[in-house]
Amino acid sequence: MRAVHFCNSCGKVQPAVPVDYFTFFGFPRKLNLDTSELEKEFYALSRRLHPDGFGQADERERSWSLEQSSMLNDAYRTLKDPIRRTEYLLRLEGVELEEQSKQATEKARATGELKKQVVPPDLLEEVFELNMQLEELRMQKKMGEDDPALLEEIGKARLSLEEKYDALLRELMTEWNKWDKSLGGEKDGGDQADRRKILDRMVDVLNRRNYVRNLVRDVNEAMED
Amino acid sequence: MKYMATDYIVGIDLGTTNSLVAYMQGSSPVVIPGEDGLNLVPSVVALDENNRIVVGNAARKYLIETPERAVYSIKRLMGRGVEDVEDELKLFPFQLAEDLQQGEVLRIKIGERTYTPPEISALVLRQLKRNAERFFGAPVTQAVITVPAYFNDAQRQATKDAGRIAGLNVLRLVNEPTAASLAYGLDKKKNGMVVVYDLGGGTFDISILKLHDGIFEVVATNGDTHLGGDDIDNLLISIALDDIRGDLGLDLRKDMRHSGEAVQRIRQAVIEAKIALSSQPSAKLNVDLPGGKKYQREISRDMFEQMIQPIVDRTIGPCKQALKDAALKPEQIDEVVLVGGSTRIPKVQRLVEDLFGRKPHTDLNPDEVVALGAAVQAHILGGGSEITQDMLLLDVTPLSLGIEVAGGVTDKIILRNSTVPASATQYYTTQVDGQTNVAIHVLQGERELARDCRSLARFDLKGVPPMVAGMPRIEVKFLIDANGILRVSAREQRSGQEAEIDVQPTYGLTDEQVENMLLESYDYAEEDFRQRQAIEARREAETILTALAKAKNNYAWRELTNDERRNVEKLEKALVAVKEGDDYHAVRAAIDALNEATMRLAELMMDTAVSTALKGKAMDDTDLEEGPQAGHPMAKADFE
């Protein structure tokens, strides 16, 4: 069921009701989402809700249009991106995402504090070696030296990380499928505990993925500097 | 009909170098020319010999004659503070008011007066408003004004303030490249990805749009609000000044105040050369200097292109960033549109072609297309018509919006390239028991540290109910409206109490200041003119009253009927009653009435004079000269 955006009898814009973004578009809370369908809905609703259409309307309608179209834009922005969509759903389901984000990294850097981050176990060895190499690269740059072999090694490591990054998105998508299926009703769907496990696994995948993304960024920065 | 046919909503391109006003005539937008027949109104404001404000083409001569009484490129200073215009001051002859305080909105000296940048822009806007009113023969009070896509909140707010000061209700601020795409897409109903590369007089914007069945969706935008033709001019001026010092031993930089005229001559000459070099292989500079010296130099296009390379190259970074943000490769771009006068430079066109791998469109007049697009948007906001009914602009915010958090770090809450309107909700609490105020610092920009971002405003949340520290849950909603301007609202959730927000714009005018300027600008701009009109009318009244007193001794007075005499005397009394007042219109009306009533008296006196002359008697020529008819030859004072 889509949230009510317009009056049933006169078709005029209504004040925004506090609903989640899925409901705003009238979509089920599923993670596999047809983005072209989403775009079509977004355009259709934009035509009816955007403040441009209310240039000559009264103050009240204008402010409702502003509220509604900002919510529409926020919802579209969140749902069209697979990662934002997943994070949003996790929050809707009451999962507090830990501050593993870029924000935390930036804050740690700016304040000079050590960033608390747990290295995913399967990456331990790789990360350890990569950090050594990056340290060496920085030293060499300071000395004005150039070691093509080291650069090649790091380049390879980056490639492997990028592959891992893509693989983690695929892993996330298999969790999506499980989640969507779990919503299929009592019979096919799992129980509350099962769903909770799926959510936890998604958090885990997202954390690992962010970790890999930060590593790639560190590598890029070290190589550019 | 949603609006009256007499309510004209105009589209205005308030440019760094030139400004234009346009409106939708039937199914196509057209530019409204000024009284001089020209479409472009130079964004130049000057004070003339009589301290009257002159705007546009008429003001340009003062740039050279009395440079300290003229100002140009004021757009560069819109929404900026004293501490971030130092670079501009080195390059532009802006004179700041001497009594400027830290944190105060900039004030620029023009002659003996000082004006804030929004006020100077308002004078340009008012000229455009008048041009439109003259054209329509009706008042114009509503407008859409364009701004560079990369303008921040303070710059947008300053533009909106300028509109208000000029007596315009600004229905919408539209981003310039987006406006251009509207004009461009009006007759070409196409789908695809379009890049708008907009290099104007003072600003550079790059916008990437997705066109889809009449929806113009901006997917990414980037730019530099201090990059444009001005920078090319300044570079050429600086090279010329070096040449002059080297070759002629004349250091014009040393005493800018007295060499202002020479520098403005050089500026004029390099601009002409720059323009010529877009169509010619070389151009000559020929400038008269103080002391009878002459500066002469020939510039080839090759040399010119080498000189401007570093400036032109500064557009590459923003273009690449916009592509990256849009997650697009150059080969995925379907069309490239050029906007802004500086895109006439062949070197710029080649750079764009290299960047996007396709020949850009040059079929639109790059000076006019933004104003035409603004007119289209104005039409849409006015209710639209069949022509525009499928058109919808979905624009984005060019810069991320954030909040300062512990450690002086920027916490971004609305990311750049988010479609507007956009909103974000943040929750705050108190740190001390019983705390009733919470201070919030709002930032705009991409940098990690708060001090590297633009400070937009400091908010004080007041009226938080006293509670144990950490208990209040204050919901603060940040909303970027369709103009790209931030709005904030707050509520304490536990008590449901609306927290009060006290906005201190870091570089903006308060509402009250704008209101005062609205009145002041009216009084100030027309003060001298009105005073002069009043004085002239009073003088004229005295002349006519003196003449009438004399005429009463004339034989002709007795020739009038009793009614005529009574009427004249009644109107005479009326004029005496109003002439010392300030109401110019009343004085004028009383003079006209008396003039008309004494028409026959004047004729009779004329006849008497003629017949007296025929009789060979000496003619009392003072009677003729100062007779009531003396009132007639005086031209009616013109308004505006």
CATH 1.20.140.10 for domain B399-509, yes or no, is no
User: Is residue B342 within 8 Å of residue B200, measured between CB atoms?
Assistant: yes
pLDDT at B627 over 60: no
pLDDT for B612 equals 54
DSSP letters, B341-402, are GGGGSHHHHHHHHHHHTSPPB--S-TTTHHHHHHHHHHHHHTT--TTTTT-EEE-EESS-EE
The domain segmentation of chain A, as residue ranges, is 1-80, 112-224
pLDDT tens, residue by residue, B567-595: 999 999 999 988 887 777 888 889 989 98
Q: Which helix (H) or strand (E) holds B500?
A: strand B500-505
Taking the CA of residue A9 and the nearest CA in chain B, the distance in Å comes to 21
* A50, A70, A111 ranked by CB distance to B407: nearest: A111
pTM of the model: 0.80
* Report for B180-194, B495-509, B604-618: range of highest mean pLDDT: B180-194
pLDDT for A107 equals 56
Which residue do the tokens 């010619």 mark?
A: B280
pLDDT at B2 over 50: no
* B2, B383, B421 ranked by CB distance to A69: nearest: B421
Q: Tell me which architecture the domain covering B513-631 has in CATH.
A: Up-down Bundle (1.20)
Taking the CA of residue B487 and the nearest CA in chain A, the distance in Å comes to 11
**Predicted confidence band of residue B327 (pLDDT cuts 50, 70, 90):** very high
Per-residue tokens: B56: 């546009």
pLDDT at A116 over 70: no
Query: Cα(A110)–Cα(B405) distance, rounded to whole angstroms?
Result: 11
pLDDT for B628 equals 37
Cis peptide, bond prior to residue B421, ω within 30 of zero? yes
pLDDT for B143 equals 96
User: Is residue B277 within 8 Å of residue B283, measured between CB atoms?
Assistant: yes
pLDDT for B464 equals 82
Query: Cα(B624)–Cα(B628) distance, rounded to whole angstroms?
Result: 8
* A43, A73, A111 ranked by CB distance to B212: nearest: A43
Q: Which CATH superfamily is domain B229-312 in?
A: ATPase, substrate binding domain, subdomain 4 (3.90.640.10)
Beta bridge partners of B426: B476
- If one compares B504 and B3, the residue with the highest pLDDT of the two is B504
pLDDT for B634 equals 36
pLDDT for A211 equals 84
Query: Cα(B107)–Cα(B119) distance, rounded to whole angstroms?
Result: 9
**Predicted confidence band of residue B255 (pLDDT cuts 50, 70, 90):** low
pLDDT at A225 over 80: no
Q: Report chain B residues whose CB lies below 8 A from the CB of A58.
A: none
**Segment A152-162 mean pLDDT:** 86
Is the four-CA dihedral A39, A40, A45, A50 of positive or negative sign?
Answer: positive
**Predicted confidence band of residue A132 (pLDDT cuts 50, 70, 90):** confident
The domain segmentation of chain B, as residue ranges, is 9-227+314-394, 229-312, 399-509, 513-631
pLDDT at B78 over 80: yes
Q: Report chain A residues whose CB lies below 8 A from the CB of B422.
A: 70, 73-74, 77
Q: Which residue of B has its CA nearest to A78?
A: B418
- If one compares B369 and A100, the residue with the highest pLDDT of the two is B369
DSSP letters, A129-156, are HHHHHHHHHHHHHHHT---HHHHHHHHH
CATH 3.30.360.10 for domain B9-227+314-394, yes or no, is no
**Segment A121-146 mean pLDDT:** 81
What value does the mean pLDDT of chain B take?
A: 85
pLDDT for A140 equals 83
pLDDT tens, residue by residue, B472-490: 888 888 899 999 998 888 8
**Segment B402-410 mean pLDDT:** 83
DSSP letters, B39-55, are S-EESEEEE-TTS-EEE
**Predicted confidence band of residue A125 (pLDDT cuts 50, 70, 90):** confident
* A70, A106, A111 ranked by CB distance to B479: nearest: A70
pLDDT for B623 equals 41
Cβ of A66 under 8 Å from any chain B Cβ? yes
pLDDT at B388 over 90: no
In sequence order, which residues have a C-beta less than 8 Å from that of residue A83 and are 6 or more positions away? A206, A209
pLDDT tens, residue by residue, B157-213: 999 999 999 999 999 999 999 999 999 887 666 789 999 999 999 999 999 999 999
User: Is residue B136 within 8 Å of residue B59, measured between CB atoms?
Assistant: no
In sequence order, which residues have a C-beta less than 8 Å from that of residue A15 and are 6 or more positions away? A64, A67, A68
Task: Report the candidate in B398, B369, B388, B380 with the shortest Cα–Cα distance to residue B181.
Answer: B369
**Predicted confidence band of residue B504 (pLDDT cuts 50, 70, 90):** low
pLDDT for B619 equals 39
Cβ pair B213:A43 closer than 8 A = yes
Least confident of A141-155, B424-438, B497-511: B497-511
pLDDT tens, residue by residue, B95-150: 888 888 777 889 999 988 899 999 999 999 999 999 998 888 888 999 999 999 99
Least confident of A100-109, B537-546, B568-577, B620-629: B620-629
- What percent of chain A clears pLDDT 70, i.e. is strictly above it? 86
Choose from B423, B488, B489 for mutation: most chain A CBs within 10 A.
Answer: B423
Taking the CA of residue B128 and the nearest CA in chain A, the distance in Å comes to 22
User: Is residue B172 within 8 Å of residue B10, measured between CB atoms?
Assistant: no
Task: Report the candidate in B148, B14, B16, B12 with the shortest Cα–Cα distance to residue B71.
Answer: B16
For B70, phi then psi, to 5°, come to -140, 155
pLDDT at A224 over 80: no
For B174, phi then psi, to 5°, come to -115, 140
User: In terms of DSSP bridges, do strands B422-428 and B418-419 run parallel, antiparallel, or are they unpaired?
Assistant: unpaired
Query: Cα(B21)–Cα(B31) distance, rounded to whole angstroms?
Result: 6
Cβ pair A56:B479 closer than 8 A = no
What value does the mean pLDDT of chain A take?
A: 83
Query: Cα(A143)–Cα(B575) distance, rounded to whole angstroms?
Result: 94
3-state secondary structure of B200: coil
pLDDT tens, residue by residue, A163-215: 989 999 999 999 999 999 888 765 555 578 888 889 989 988 998 888 888 88
pLDDT for B7 equals 74
Structure letter (DSSP) for residue B33: P
How many H-runs (helices) and E-runs (strands) does chain B carry? 17, 28
pLDDT for B630 equals 35
Cβ of B249 under 8 Å from any chain A Cβ? no
pLDDT at B522 over 60: no
Cα distances (angstroms) measured from residue B362 to each of B346, B567, B626: 11, 70, 66
**Predicted confidence band of residue A47 (pLDDT cuts 50, 70, 90):** very high
Positions of B marked catalytic = 13, 75, 176, 198
Query: Cα(A71)–Cα(A89) distance, rounded to whole angstroms?
Result: 16
Query: Cα(B75)–Cα(B343) distance, rounded to whole angstroms?
Result: 19
Beta bridge partners of A157: none
What's the burial of A11, exposed, middle or buried (CB within 10 Å: 0-12/13-18/19+)?
Answer: exposed
Query: Cα(B312)–Cα(B306) distance, rounded to whole angstroms?
Result: 10
Q: Which of residues 467-506 of B touch A (CB under 8 A)?
A: 479-482
Q: Which residue of A has its CA nearest to B484?
A: A70
**Segment A101-121 mean pLDDT:** 56
pLDDT for A78 equals 95
pLDDT for B622 equals 39
pLDDT at B55 over 90: yes
pLDDT for B617 equals 41
In sequence order, which residues have a C-beta less than 8 Å from that of residue B255 and are 6 or more positions away? none
In sequence order, which residues have a C-beta less than 8 Å from that of residue B437 and are 6 or more positions away? B460, B461, B462, B464
Give the up-direction half-sphere exposure of residue B539: CA atoms within 13 A in the CB hemisphere.
8
What's the burial of B476, exposed, middle or buried (CB within 10 Å: 0-12/13-18/19+)?
Answer: buried
**Segment A104-112 mean pLDDT:** 56
| CATH code for the structural domain at A1-80 | 1.10.287.110
